[in-house]
Homo-oligomer: A and B are copies of this chain.
């Protein structure tokens, strides 16, 4: 499927990418998140090659992103549902969608999907918050530091150039 494993990179981003697999994996996660569960649904949703779809679903099952359930014996048919770990991936899909929307990577008509507060109908946005209070933290106060798992390469990255770009307030 690919030449290089990203699992031994001491980087959670690389580890997460290894788990999703590739770009088809992201779209399949999107569809699972929206409640699609069966082969026919995935194939109607994306022009994904049948073998790619089958291999991604197997990969998701083996890495604990989704569970498989046989819903019909003759002929055998399975359906897939996200696990807690899989559902927790919503934040990645939301971030990709927000960025894609903001920089107009959707079609000319506008955003295909919106995430709203059901009590007000207003669109929501991802932001870095203080976990206890739930309050957004101003961009000027956001900083990056090495964690306990930082290897030599990560320390070098963190010390490189002019230092990390700060997240900008949108």
Which residues does A use to contact B, with CB under 8 Å? 2, 4, 6-7, 9-19, 22-23, 26-27, 30-31, 33-37, 41, 44-47, 82, 84-85, 87-103, 105-120, 122-131, 134-137, 141-151, 153-154, 156-158, 160-165, 167-168, 170
Give CA–CA (A120, B129) in the complex, Å: 13
Chain multiplicity (copies): 2
Smallest CB–CB gap between A117 and chain B, Å? 5
- With A111-B149, A115-B142, A118-B143 given, name 18 new contacts (CB 8 A): A10-B112, A12-B99, A12-B113, A17-B27, A35-B162, A36-B161, A44-B153, A92-B95, A94-B95, A107-B151, A109-B148, A113-B146, A113-B150, A115-B143, A116-B144, A123-B131, A127-B134, A135-B135
* A15→B91 contact, CB < 8 A: no
- Give A153's nearest chain B residue, CB to CB: B45
Partner of A126, one of B109, B119, B127: B127
- Give A127's nearest chain B residue, CB to CB: B129
- Note all chain B residues with C-beta closer than 8 A to A149: 106-112
